[in-house]
Structure 1
Amino acid sequence: MDRIVVLIKQVPDMEEVRFDRERGVIDRNSAGTEINPFDLNALEAAVQISEKTGAEVFVISMGPPSAKEAIREAIARGASDGVLLSDRKFGGADVKATAATLAAGIRCTGPYSLILAGMQTVDGDTGQVGPEIAEMLGIPHAGYAESIDEVDETSVTLTTRIWDGRYQKKLRFPVLVTVTKDIASPRLPSLKSKMKARKAEIPVIGLDDLDGYLKEEETGLKGSATRVRKIVIPESAERAGAVYRDDMPAAIDALIEVLKDTKVLEVRQGEGI
């Protein structure tokens, strides 16, 4: 196999981040950043394949200039090289526009055999970008892979898990795979690899560099088919209960009222239970 492309995203620390309810977006300045956890699992899976096959691990990310640090961290964790797709015109992209931009970046940066990505990002949770990229590239894809069982020169065999079922699949290259956290446990970078990564030059690709691969109207807000109209953060609910020891008729009446209020039981006027 020639090269493994790993898609990573720099996301805010979701334990600390705040939401801008007026604009319907995450306030990314309200918390620190990290590599999307599922993408770290994908990166580790790629590095393990590379150690067995000698394939190059190439990282691609889309984001602001600060996302260079995420690529450097990926290099410290075993990636060979990487590139950042960054342009103000990419801002505000939904999953469709994001997928179009990443697909253009993949085409622009050369041949590949395998594309790996996390099954979703913790700041979006849609799980749509990976499959959309595969469709735009015209290649097969598999989702929710929990293990990569075999890799040879022409194909990859893997196990996916969907609900309670496991499915073993064999796909010919080129192919895109989104992975779960069970695919591989991310390794910690060594001090030596961190020092090496700090010196790495991270090329930045903008819209002009993707001429012939991507049109302006396909990316950013212009290329987005969806808009966030409102963000609602639900109030946390606590468990509530009542104990009836001596008055069973009252307990039954209370239970019926709860079932009616939650629409588990539908009682028509004039009918008993």
Structure 2
Amino acid sequence: MKVLVPVKRVIDAYVSIRVKSDGSGVDTDNVKMSLNPFCEIALEEAIRLKEAGIATEVVLVSVGSADIDTVIRSGLAMGADRAIRIDADNDIEPLAIAKILKYVVEKEEAGLVITGKQSIDGDNNQTGQMLSALLGWAQATFASEVVIEGDQAKVTREIDGGLETLSIPLPAVVTTDLRLNEPRYPTLPNIMKAKKKPLDVIALADTGVDASKRQTVLNVSPPEERSAGVMVGSVAELVEKLKNEAKVI
């Protein structure tokens, strides 16, 4: 079974975000970029399936310009077999991404797609669900455990009330949550090997997908700074402030 793992380049999770002075977006100049953390979890799960003899090949796919090749190589260093990059802008919307992924899935004849539940920049949490609908495949989102049993996938997913376990037929789309696994760090030998692994580039026009924007960002602004906390001398004073000042009780 071939496993396809879509990945995205984002601003590193430990970088402090700066908003452009004109409010048109986030400043990415000279900012460290990394694999989206949820994508790393998805990739780790796919690699584990291959190590268990369930998956035969792990293929990365990403959409963007040549700038993202470095991040793709880091995914190859983790253990993916090869990668595909759809040459396009770096800010394509989720629906167009899902349509592009559908093209790649059908071209590669993948049996399972594992993707992060969302990216930490847009936080849309849409692409996996859209891809499932476009393919007509089963889906399981927010996975905290994935077990492949024959032509079925048993997925434990996190919901508001606790955990829910689903059994879905393959092929399927699974989106990953934080507690699914702990991604590995690439070793130096694997980093060197990743430089020689195949990275195929496909033009956006070849996919037949219209990536025209359907949304316009009107303004981006940082969150309001929180006011400093205060120390209270007693429980009674705390209750009084919560009731009369914060008005939360």
Q: TM-score range by the shorter chain?
A: 0.7 to 0.9
Structure-2-length-normalised TM-score: 0.88
In structure 1, what is the equivalent of residue 29 of structure 2?
29
Could you tell me how far 1:128 is from its partner in structure 2? Answer: 1.3
Could you tell me how far 1:98 is from its partner in structure 2? Answer: 2.5
- Structure 1: gaps (5+ residues): 266-273
Q: What is the alpha-carbon distance in structure 2 between the residues aligned to residue 166 and residue 251 of structure 1?
A: 36
Could you tell me how far 1:142 is from its partner in structure 2? Answer: 1.0
Could you tell me how far 1:232 is from its partner in structure 2? Answer: 1.8
In structure 2, what is the equivalent of residue 157 of structure 1?
154
Quote the sequence identity (%).
25
Matches within 5 A, 1:215-254: 218-219=210-211, 222=212, 224-241=213-230, 243=232
In structure 1, what is the equivalent of residue 42 of structure 2?
42
Matches within 5 A, 1:1-273: 2-14=1-13, 15-20=15-20, 22=22, 24-52=24-52, 53-87=54-88, 90-107=89-106, 109-148=107-146, 150-211=147-208, 214=209, 218-219=210-211, 222=212, 224-241=213-230, 243=232, 257-258=244-245, 262=247
Q: 1:97 to 1:240 in 2, by over 3 A?
A: same
Q: 1:26 to 1:169 in 2, by over 3 A?
A: same
Q: 1:206 to 1:25 in 2, by over 3 A?
A: farther
Q: What is the alpha-carbon distance in structure 2 between the residues aligned to residue 226 and residue 198 of structure 1?
A: 37
Could you tell me how far 1:133 is from its partner in structure 2? Answer: 1.5
**Contact 1:86–1:205 under 8 Å retained in 2:** yes
In structure 2, what is the equivalent of residue 270 of structure 1?
none
Q: 1:24 to 1:153 in 2, by over 3 A?
A: farther
Letter in 1 for 2:38: F
**Contact 1:41–1:183 under 8 Å retained in 2:** yes
Could you tell me how far 1:255 is from its partner in structure 2? Answer: 6.1
Q: Which structure's CA Rg is the greater one?
A: 1
Could you tell me how far 1:43 is from its partner in structure 2? Answer: 0.6
Q: What is the alpha-carbon distance in structure 2 between the residues aligned to residue 207 and residue 254 of structure 1?
A: 58
Letter in 1 for 2:60: V
Q: What is the alpha-carbon distance in structure 1 between the residues aligned to residue 229 and residue 51 of structure 2?
A: 53
Q: What is the alpha-carbon distance in structure 2 between the residues aligned to residue 40 and residue 252 of structure 1?
A: 44
Letter in 2 for 1:112: A
Q: 1:19 to 1:64 in 2, by over 3 A?
A: farther
Partner secondary structure for residue 135 of structure 1: helix
Could you tell me how far 1:256 is from its partner in structure 2? Answer: 5.4
> What are the Cα deviations for residues 179-238 of structure 1, in whole angstroms up to 9, with x where unaligned?
112111111222221111112231111123214xx2xxx31xx2x332211112122213
**Contact 2:9–2:36 under 8 Å retained in 1:** yes
Q: What is the alpha-carbon distance in structure 2 between the residues aligned to residue 146 and residue 19 of structure 1?
A: 33
Partner secondary structure for residue 221 of structure 2: coil
Q: What is the alpha-carbon distance in structure 1 between the residues aligned to residue 27 and residue 163 of structure 2?
A: 38
Q: What is the alpha-carbon distance in structure 1 between the residues aligned to residue 240 and residue 233 of structure 2?
A: 11
Could you tell me how far 1:26 is from its partner in structure 2? Answer: 2.5
